[in-house]
Structure 1
Amino acid sequence: MVRNTTIAFERALSDMRTFEEIMEMRRLYYQERLSITEIAARTHSDYKTVQKYIDQTNFSFTPTQSDDTSLCPKLDPWKSNIDKWLMDDQNAPRKQRHTAIRVFDRLKNEFSDFNCSYRTVTTYVGVRRKELGVKNDVPHLPLIHHAGECQGDFGAADFIENGVQKSGKYFVLEFPYSNCAFAQLKYGENMECLLESMDAIFRFIGGVPRVIWLDNASTMVHKVIYGGGRKITEQFQRFAEHYHFIPVFMNPGSGNEKGGVESKVGYIRRHMLVPIPEFTDLDEFNDHFLQLQEEDTGRYHYRKNRRISDLFLEDMRELLPLPEEDFDLAGYRVVKTDQTALFTIDDKYTYSSHPDFRRKTIMIKLTSKTVTVLDERNKEIVVHRRLYGEGPQTSINWSTYLRVIAVKPRAFPNTGLADHLPEEMRVFLLSCDNSGRRRILTIMADLNDQKGFDAVEDLISKAVSMHALEPDKFEMLYRRLYTEVPVFPPVTLSSDTPKAPHMSSDLSIYDDLLKGRKE
């Protein structure tokens, strides 16, 4: 069966000839007087194919038409079902329409006598989808963009910060009227990255676009409502109201509505992020990044035959003024800690708070770079570098756990604090008995409470360099550096030290003086 189908398919292909090939067959026959057999051999054609074109008399162009009955005849019993499914797809979301494999699976599951191959179904579905006018894509319309309006979108790019390569995001704000664009490189595309990027660009250009076209990212849109409405996140709604711009969100799956910025995302990656940028400070890089983008406006517009910088002046005339008051770009969340005072955000990033906050509801402050734990008075308790990347990650500030570790010195080897200490100090603490380890850890906890963990690190560094690691020496060094009155240990006298006579005292004279009496 398979062999017969293959032969029939090859014969069908052999019948498909271009007009130049047909003319060559007729020339060989009528002018060079070759036989049909010779022509078939020379042109690698079937004998009947050559004979058909030699005998052909009408050479008018005839548009080909599809014949339902001749297309995959073995599928005839089920074609009406397939056609109905394809027609129903016009009312279904684009990503929930029938694919050929889905049609094939349904035919197998719903019709016990179905016996056609997947290739047959694929051929029929492909042809019929076009004939029935069922298309996954809607025709795009040319859009008119007014001065002062812009589009925003994120792109992905790697960068090297302090020698470490990271995968980041960059937000692009593009003005379609002038084709001018500005971008900021960030660690991710969360709300804080978005707002910080937009604020930096607004301040760089000296104004705010009246209308900004955006996609339906979850950072901005909670829910797309049937009929075109959007439920916008409160933080983004506050930001838009503060700067007085109107956010307009794309139809789902309609990236063409902001094709200008999507094209600009690729342009900036190719022209400004190759080779992979390398820097030590992201904020400094972003300042330089904006300067590069401003210099790029000297080019001519691809269609208007004017410099982008000149067209952008018309955009700027339509900008809204910057607000008088600054907007707090940070995000605030209420989280709940577990029994170890840890909490998790975004379902995968875990941070430490303070042992006093275990099993409590606390407030945290978020920026694109940091996660800060606040107490009841909004005072900073601990600051973490914000985590990014795929998969679960954990950041623990062990300085807040020093007091707990000092109380439970046996737990020290199993804490992350050991990994943050100099090797010599770590090895010594691991070799100490519980009493000595408790003394050193208590001193570290006291200093941390008084001066912060930077002072603890400084004390440890000096103790290592001066070989003052034993508990007594460590305590003396601490008191000499960080207390007003050092406490010195008692002096042990040697046996040959001369003994001083005992000096007696009579304080009664002072009593007489206080009573006003004289000798």
Structure 2
Amino acid sequence: MIGVDKIDDIRRLGRSGENVASIVRDTGVSEPTVRKYLRKADFSEKPPRVGKTPGSPLLAPYADLIDSWLSEDRRCWFKQRHSAKKVYDRLVEERGFEGSYSTVRRYVKCRRTELAAGLDSREAQGFLLLDWLPGECQVDFGQADFRVRGVLIRGHFLVVMFPHSNVGLAQVFWGGAAECVCQGLGDVFEFLGGVPLRAVFDSATEVGRRISAQVVTSELFRRFAAHYGLDYSFAKPCFGNEKGSVENKVGALRRNLFVLIPQFFDARGYNKSLLEACLKASDGKPHYRKGATEPELFEDDRAALSPLPASPFACVTWLTRKCDKQGGFRAGGNHPYSAGPEMASREVAVAMGAFDVAVVGLGGEVVTEYPREWGDAPTDSADPALQLRLLCARPGG
């Protein structure tokens, strides 16, 4: 591309009657270029290219592939997304790309901006208000501090929220495993005397793991859903309107019921009173949109529930563990438990529940039970009483 001064010289010589060959000799510009600028009618400055994806013949066959990588990145943690260098390396290694890194870098930079702008424009248009039928619920976890036996512990609380009435029920646990979700749901169902028509879960709950576009549910939850005849689905990532009601209720219950910090001795006993406290929090409260009170609308929810099965579901995951020479084993992470010296080098069955760990011997008898330990830090739950018989037989150690 030549400068404006050179173009002006070409145009001036053309106006003075010089032929093309003469202009080429005088300006040192090629003949096609001279003819181009002699014919050109409009020399107005063009607007700059802003936000346009730069084109490249070498890159064009791979544009859709790069777009798919960048789109998939939006589901990943921001620290684990494709850099331009990673895109270039993958194109070279997997597709034999022969273009330059700078071409890929310019494309990725502009395309990533365009994809983000497209998402922002969809969000700016707002979301449709979803209509929830009586008896449908949303389920999610929140966190709060609790003082248990004088010790401050940060725990989880499961919230089952009915969007039709805006009533939410909570249960406190020390972890977010599938056993806790099933136990909390089962306790809520038994309290209400029925099973919701449908439950919508966040994929972050332990009942399922989202792998790309597919959610894989845990075996315990599949058994739980079959037992109660519960229909369920998972909210889509980045679609907050599908579970916004329960997220708002998580914050509301935390502010209204867990400030000041609750103090209790046993979580299971506290959970029984918590269900009544959740209902009391809605007493006389008008629904934010429907012109009726939340308890009145909640009666519609309760009337729509399906009947309970004949017996409650056992919310435990069964494991088998080989004990060491002291009768110890590990379960639920880096947490050692003991079946006692009598079970040394033997295999035991272990029932992992939301609050307890039960050890079952060869004959089906319960050898011992422990409170379930949570967290990443190692713990020790050995029961000294299990070693009394061995101490009596071997008082010297």
CA contact (8 A) 1:225 1:231 kept: no
CA contact (8 A) 2:173 2:354 kept: yes
- Structure 1 CA distance for aligned equivalents of residues 242 and 175 of structure 2: 24
Corresponding residue number in structure 1 for 2:354: 368
- Structure 1 CA distance for aligned equivalents of residues 237 and 208 of structure 2: 12
- Structure 1 CA distance for aligned equivalents of residues 348 and 270 of structure 2: 34
Q: TM-score, normalised by structure 2?
A: 0.72
Corresponding residue number in structure 1 for 2:74: 94
CA contact (8 A) 2:327 2:339 kept: yes
Cα deviation code 1:474-516 (max 9, x no counterpart): xxxxxxxxxxxxxxxxxxxxxxxxxxxxxxxxxxxxxxxxxxx
1:339 aligns with 2:319: no
- Structure 1 CA distance for aligned equivalents of residues 58 and 253 of structure 2: 49
Corresponding residue number in structure 2 for 1:25: none
- Structure 2 CA distance for aligned equivalents of residues 106 and 231 of structure 1: 29
Aligned match of 2:266 in 278, 281, 289? 281
Cα deviation code 1:236-271 (max 9, x no counterpart): 233223322212233355454222111111111111
CA contact (8 A) 2:51 2:114 kept: no
- Structure 2 CA distance for aligned equivalents of residues 348 and 106 of structure 1: 36
Aligned match of 1:350 in 336, 343, 347? 336
Corresponding residue number in structure 2 for 1:220: 207
* 1:304 counterpart letter in structure 2: K
CA contact (8 A) 2:207 2:217 kept: yes
* 1:205 counterpart letter in structure 2: L
Return the offset for 1:235: 2.6
Aligned match of 1:239 in 204, 217, 224? 224
- Structure 2 CA distance for aligned equivalents of residues 115 and 371 of structure 1: 58
Residue 322 of structure 1: SS of its match in structure 2? Answer: coil
Matches within 5 A, 1:399-438: 399-405=385-391
* 1:242 counterpart letter in structure 2: H
Change (3 A) 1:114 1:256: same
Return the offset for 1:179: 0.7
Matches within 5 A, 1:176-195: 176-195=163-182
Residue 75 of structure 2: SS of its match in structure 1? Answer: helix
Matches within 5 A, 1:153-302: 153-216=140-203, 219-221=206-208, 231-252=216-237, 254-297=239-282, 298-302=284-288
Return the offset for 1:318: 0.7
- Structure 2 CA distance for aligned equivalents of residues 171 and 183 of structure 1: 5
CA contact (8 A) 1:362 1:374 kept: yes
CA contact (8 A) 1:213 1:250 kept: yes
Give unpaired runs (5+ residues) of structure 2. 1-45, 93-97
CA contact (8 A) 2:58 2:99 kept: no
| Higher Rg of the two aligned structures | 1
- Structure 2 CA distance for aligned equivalents of residues 99 and 78 of structure 1: 31
Return the offset for 1:148: 0.9
Aligned match of 1:391 in 353, 357, 377? 377
Give unpaired runs (5+ residues) of structure 1. 1-64, 412-519
CA contact (8 A) 2:360 2:367 kept: yes
Return the offset for 1:155: 1.0
Question: What is the percentage of aligned positions where both structures have the same residue?
Answer: 27
- Structure 1 CA distance for aligned equivalents of residues 204 and 270 of structure 2: 26
Corresponding residue number in structure 1 for 2:12: none
Aligned match of 2:85 in 105, 124, 131? 105
CA contact (8 A) 1:100 1:122 kept: no
Corresponding residue number in structure 1 for 2:301: 315
Q: Aligned-pair RMSD on alpha carbons?
A: 3.9
Return the offset for 1:71: 6.5
Return the offset for 1:91: 5.4
Return the offset for 1:357: 1.8
* 1:307 counterpart letter in structure 2: T
- Structure 2 CA distance for aligned equivalents of residues 161 and 97 of structure 1: 34
Aligned length: 340
Residue 171 of structure 1: SS of its match in structure 2? Answer: strand
- Structure 1 CA distance for aligned equivalents of residues 252 and 58 of structure 2: 47
CA contact (8 A) 1:342 1:351 kept: yes
Q: TM-score, normalised by structure 1?
A: 0.56
> Which one is further off, 274-283 or 103-112?
103-112
